[in-house]
Structure 1
Amino acid sequence: MVEYIIIGISNNPAFSFMDEVKSILPLHSVFSGGKRHYELVKGYLPEGHVWIDIIGDMGRLIERYREFNQTVVVFASGDPLFYGIANTIMRLDTSAVMKVYPHFNSLQVLCHRCNIAYQHICNTSVHGRGWDELDIALISGYSLIGVLTDGVKTPSAIAERMLEYGFDNYSVIVGEALEGIDERISYLSLEEVGSSFNALNCVLLVRTVLKPKAFGIHDTAFAGLENRPNMITKMSVRLLSLSQLDLHNRTSFWDIGFCTGSVSIEAKKQFPALQVTAFEKRPECSQLFDINTRKHSTPGISKVMGDIFLQELKGQADAIFIGGHGNRLTELIALVDSHLNIKGRLVINAVKEESKEQFITGIQQLNYHLLDPITLRVDEHNPITILTAEKL
């Protein structure tokens, strides 16, 4: 078992530790942090100390810490519990005993500099990870969003993505080298965000206009297949189908045969944290999907093109909507069954009696419970039966 003391520090070369921390440092001999941290703290460390650089393989780093039969003092920027090294240590060394002395994190410092109250901020990070957290915050429409960036997902890349998906109702504040001698703060529109920033930067997104959010997107708001305007799951049917999928209790959703993407887009709009994967084999639907996801500001949906029967399916789903099956419905149910979690739901909108029979046959061959079917008719279209099965 390793004992850790984790100390958050400022980026200011003239910073000073609190008295309690100053009294702790001479009592220990093993210290760790980034190369930049060492330059800031080495004057406080006792003679003969050991320094372990934090670089690369974190698992190997934990093993290195364990080689010492004594407390390891780790230095980190800002708050070690805010997307920081303390979280990594707790994840990789579950028996660790830890004492944390935090400093302000960079987003807090930027709010302080700008006199922005941050009790309602939505903190996100794209540093060394995907866009998921930022996408969720943007779709949710938070009034203040903090973003930790990296060398690829820069302020410029963030602004470009936001404009691409229609999130033009935010202004941008970029904080560079905060608390350091090169500190700079820029107030920008999305269009004004350039590409030249100090590598140590973070971003605040400040909502300027509240965009209305509807419960249901009108069918005519989607770009559709040429000469086939009815090839879309109608709004009333779409919303009822999503209700049957019970998505507020799910984390992962598959939309098979997405066509225009209306079901996936509606699901993502209503449940921004939902992991949505959309499948389609018709090549002409790929561009429609891109057009519609951008038009309706729904980044983060995974698009999979090609025949699903030829795909190497990965991962698990909590809910699956079957929008198309190529007359192989029973086979499709058998195919996706191993990827649907227990208590997961399977939903189809059936127009033909044959589809109803195949769906029921498919679930009877497996371990499912059929919920009460719901039949409705939209305008002059044929009646549609929404069939829902729950995996036992």
Structure 2
Amino acid sequence: MAMITVVGIGPGGTPEYLFDGVQEALEAADLIIGSERQLEIVPINKKQNCQRLPRKLDDLEELLANCKEDQIVLLASGDPLTYGIGKWLIQRFPAAELNILPGISSLHYLFNQLKLPMEDCYITSSHGKVPDYSLIFQLPKVGMVTDKAIGPYQLAQEAVQRGKNPTFYIGEKLSYSDEKIRCCKADEVPDEDYQMNAVVIINEG
């Protein structure tokens, strides 16, 4: 049976963050879909099977639907089911046609770099939506993946406007050679263009 295998390649797609089964899935694939950065992990002998990820999800859905006879690998950053493409696929394709190989999410990676336990953490995202600020700034520990519209600075300003000054840990380009992790209070978070970031917010008191 044809299958869409969703492969989480971790925060940076480096070999040490790829779980067992990834290379086997790539070798068996008739079609491998991913962004230019994600496709860098594909072995040379499979490069001819690669296709760039369409810009629009509607186009991706059409591509997947038209290739139902193929064994497809769809590359995903981090963990496909932690604010990744996994939920979108589950809503559109039968479970029997999907195989999801999890990767390490950027939030899991950031918490481990900070040596912070995350079992008491509330996980959310600002991708394409406005977060529940009232909830975020009353919980003790929050992990977020953010986007360009609502990033670390915008989140920090929302906290300050509510009379809060939590601690922000901001991770950028996690697991890459130019990884950057910063810690600052909300009223000190700079207004910058943050790159591929995840945020941990600690609300004291």
Would you say same fold, with TM above 0.5? yes
The CA distance in 1 between the partners of 2:188 and 2:47, in whole Å, is: 50
Distance 1:47 1:107, change over 3 A: closer
Q: 8 Å contact 2:7–2:73 — kept in the other structure?
A: yes
* Structure 2 counterpart of 1:304: none
**Structure 2 match to 1:121:** 121
Relative to structure 1, is the Cα distance of residues 97 and 163 closer, same or farther in structure 2, using a 3 angstrom cutoff? same
What's the CA shift for 1:48? 2.9
List per-residue Cα deviations over 1:178-206 (Å, max 9, x = no partner): 00111011110111100225321111101
Q: 1:125 to 1:201 in 2, by over 3 A?
A: same
Q: Trace 1:87-126 onto structure 2 (pairs within 5 A).
A: 87-94=87-94, 97-126=97-126
1:37 lines up with 2:34 in the alignment: no
Letter in 1 for 2:99: K
Q: Is the 8 A contact 1:111 1:117 kept in 2?
A: yes
**Residue in 2 that maps onto 1:66:** 65
Give, in angstroms, the shift of residue 14 of structure 1. Answer: 3.9
1:34–1:55: 8 Å Cα contact kept in structure 2?
no
In the alignment, what sits opposite 1:204? 200
Instruction: For residue 19 of structure 1, report the CA deviation from its aligned partner.
Output: 4.2
- The alpha-carbon distance between structure 1 residues 106 and 18, as it changes in their structure 2 partners (threshold 3 A), is closer
Return closer, same or farther for 1:79/1:18 CA change in 2, 3 Å cut-off. closer
Report the 3-state secondary structure (helix = DSSP H, G, I; strand = E; otherwise coil) of the residue aligned with 2:183.
Answer: strand
Task: Say yes or no: does 1:164 pair with 2:168.
Answer: no
Q: Which amino acid aligns with 2:136?
A: A
Comparing 99-108 with 15-24, greater Cα deviation is found at 15-24
SS of 2:153 mapped into structure 1: helix
Structure 1, residues 311-334: CA drift from partner, whole Å, max 9, x if none?
A: xxxxxxxxxxxxxxxxxxxxxxxx
1:20 aligns with 2:16: no
Please show how residues 186-225 of structure 1 align to structure 2 within 5 Å: 186-209=182-205
Deviation at 1:2, TM superposition (A): 6.0
Quick check: 2:6–2:73 contact (8 Å CA) kept in 1? yes
Cα distance in 1, alignment partners of residues 48 and 97 from structure 2 = 25
Quick one: which amino acid aligns to residue 148 of structure 1?
V
Q: Is the 8 A contact 1:59 1:92 kept in 2?
A: no
For 1:315, the equivalent position in structure 2 comes to: none
Equivalent residue letter for 2:31: V
Aligned length: 203
Match of residue 233 from structure 1: none
SS in structure 2 of the partner of residue 118 of structure 1:
coil
For 1:55-80, what per-residue CA distance to the aligned partner results, in whole angstroms no more than 9, with x for missing partners? Answer: 22x12211111111212101111100
* Paired residue secondary structure (1:108): helix
Name the structure 2 match of 1:363.
none
What amino acid maps onto 2:59 in structure 1?
Answer: R
Q: Which amino acid aligns with 1:3?
A: M
Change (3 A) 1:2 1:62: farther
Report percent identity of matched pairs.
23
CA apart distance, 1:25: 1.5
For residue 175 of structure 1, the aligned residue among 148, 159, 171 is 171
* Structure 2 runs not aligned, ≥5 long: none
1:171–1:18 CA distance, 2 compared to 1 (3 A): closer
Does the CA-based 8 Å contact 2:146-2:199 persist in structure 1?
A: yes
CA–CA distance in structure 2, aligned partners of residues 47 and 106 of structure 1: 26
- RMSD of equivalent CA atoms: 2.1
Structure 2: distance between partners of 1:171 and 1:197 = 19
Q: Which SS does the other structure have where 2:15 is aligned?
A: coil
Q: Counterparts of 1:39-58 in structure 2 under 5 Å?
A: 40-43=40-43, 46-56=46-56, 58=57
Name which one, 1 or 2, has greater alpha-carbon Rg: 1
Gaps of 5+ in 1: 210-392
> 2:76 matched to which residue of 1?
76
Larger RCO, structure (CA 8 Å, separation 6 or more): 2
Distance 1:10 1:45 in 2: 22
Matches within 5 A, 1:1-392: 3-12=3-12, 14-16=14-16, 17-38=18-39, 40-43=40-43, 46-56=46-56, 58-68=57-67, 69-94=69-94, 97-132=97-132, 134-138=133-137, 141-168=138-165, 170-209=166-205
When normalised by structure 2's length, the TM-score is: 0.89
